[in-house]
Copies of this chain bind each other. A is one copy, B any other.
Amino acid sequence: MNSFKTIEWEDDFIKILDQTRLPSEEIYLECRDLESVAKAIEMLSVRGAPAIGVAAAMALAYESQKFEGNDFELFLSKVNDMCDRLRRTRPTAVNLGWALKRMFQKVLDSKNKNVSDVKQILKKEADIILNEDIAINHSMGMFGQEILPDSGTVMTICNAGSLATAGYGTALGVIRAAVEKNKDISVVSCETRPLLQGARLTCWELQKDNIPVILITDSMAGYYMREKGVDIVITGADRVAANGDSANKIGTYSLSILAKEHNVPFYIAAPISTIDVSAQTGEDIPIEERSKNEVTQIKGHQITPENIGVWNPSFDVVPNKYISGIITEKGILRPPFIENIKKIVSN
């Protein structure tokens, strides 16, 4: 459906759409080693929990091909180092660790094989992860679109779209699926300061797909709900705890409270790989803090006085009490989340 690919294999490199340059420029990075993919993740050239899981798996598969010889233990140790490097890129999204764990397990399971075969297995597994992600998003879309009205407005924050995944998107995938069912859906995109993923990325990809979108500043969300009305809020997630508490882009917590105050249902759309049952609650989810320059500068221009104190967490946590449901590829999870998450994860 999309006229662009967030990330894909080329003959001899990994091709990544540089999202820091959107929407003004559509430029693709050609990554020929793990380090350049790791940097692309750190610099947010590729971002979104599912997409960075896919990118990490592909980087690992790519770099491991360079290994020479047939010493399995040495290979295992190198792959372990690669995982370490990739895991250090960003702390909050659990899909990154999930994808790396899955790849590493493939190596552990291949102890008796030739290293050249294991390298092929890794390449194939990364392909599976990439294609699975798209399929999962379609499935999530199918379940999610059912709760959307035939005609209505969805509010979202950040970008949980094609650009945040291997394709189709999580929150925006639900919207795409509804539009494919001929529902008349328009989107209200919160701009998502500091890095403006809503203004830059969500508006860009919805415009490409001819899905109507209205842009507002994050500060307008409550007043929009009151004055114009919103049928539902749907956002992505970077990590969902065992009790349903969900970490997502900073601003999502406020949005969930505003939704509650206006009786607007608040949904998370996230693949099951985003659920981290080792985190009992949101308290156990590490929250990345990024450079103050993200707040004090826009496109390299200083917008504040010099030497101002800044707080810049990239994410916040929505407590489960504000969440109406979590849309997954296996159906929609509803309260009580602890029970229902346990069931879906063990299936």
Question: Chain A residues in contact with chain B, CB under 8 A?
Answer: 23-24, 157, 190-194, 196, 199-200, 203-204, 207, 212-224, 226-228, 250-251, 253-254, 257-258, 261, 295-296, 298-299, 301-305, 307-313, 316
Offer 24 A-B interface pairs, CB within 8 angstroms, sorted by A: A23-B305, A193-B219, A196-B304, A199-B295, A199-B303, A199-B304, A200-B304, A203-B305, A207-B308, A213-B309, A214-B310, A215-B308, A215-B310, A217-B250, A217-B295, A220-B251, A220-B312, A220-B313, A220-B316, A222-B257, A222-B316, A257-B257, A299-B303, A301-B301
Known: A203-B305, A253-B222. A296 touches B215 (CB 8 A): yes
Number of copies: 2
Question: A204-B305, A254-B221 in contact; A228/B299 too (CB < 8 A)?
Answer: no
Distance in Å from the Cβ of A200 to the closest Cβ of chain B? 6
Are A303 and B193 in contact, with the CB atoms below 8 A? no
Q: Which residues of B have CB within 8 Å of A309?
A: 212-215
Main secondary structure of the interface of A (DSSP, over half): mixed
Residues of B within 8 A of A23 (CB): 304-305
Find out whether the CB atom of A192 lies under 8 angstroms from the CB atom of B219: yes
Q: CB distance B213 to A316 under 8 Å?
A: no
Pick from A200, A216, A296, A301 the residue with the most CB of B within 10 Å. Answer: A216
Q: Does B222 lie within 8 Å of A193, measured CB to CB?
A: no
Partner of A298, one of B24, B250, B298: B298
